Amino acid sequence: MFAVRLDREPDGRWTVTCPMLPSCATWGATKEIALRNIQELVQAYVSDAVEAGDPVPSGVAELDEPAVSVTLQIRTRANGSQPRPPVGV
C-alpha cells in the first residue's frame, strides 16, 4: 500500500500525489477518478522500477489516510532469467 494525498482544488477537481514516489502526481474530475488515476500511475512506476532492477520504497500496511495498492507481475526476461528483486519490495 502506498499512502496518497488527495486535495480538492478551487475549480472542483481533485489532485492526488504519492509522497513515497514524488514523481507520481495526477488529478481527476472526481475523487474516484483521481484515485483510479494515481493507482494506475503508481502501478506503472513500481512495475517499471522492478523491471529495471531499481529500488522501490516499501509500501505501508496500516494507514489512517487514503492509499492505493499495486500488484506486481514479475516477467521472465528473454534469456530466461528473472529480474533481480528490488530492495524494499
Q: What is the mean pLDDT of residues 3-17?
A: 91
Question: DSSP class of residue 82?
Answer: P
84, part of any domain: no
89, part of any domain: no
The bridge status of strand 67-68 relative to strand 5-8 is unpaired
Percentage, residues of the chain above pLDDT 90: 30
Question: DSSP class of residue 2?
Answer: E
pLDDT at 85 over 70: no
28 with 6: CB under 8 angstroms?
no
Instruction: Give the domain range for residue 53.
Output: 2-68
Specify the number of domains making up the chain: 1
Strands, E assignment, the chain = 2-3, 5-8, 14-17, 25-28, 67-68
85, part of any domain: no
48, part of any domain: yes
Q: The domain that contains 58 carries what CATH number? A: 3.30.160.250
Q: Tell me the whole-structure pTM to 2 decimals.
A: 0.68
Element housing 68 (H / E): strand 67-68
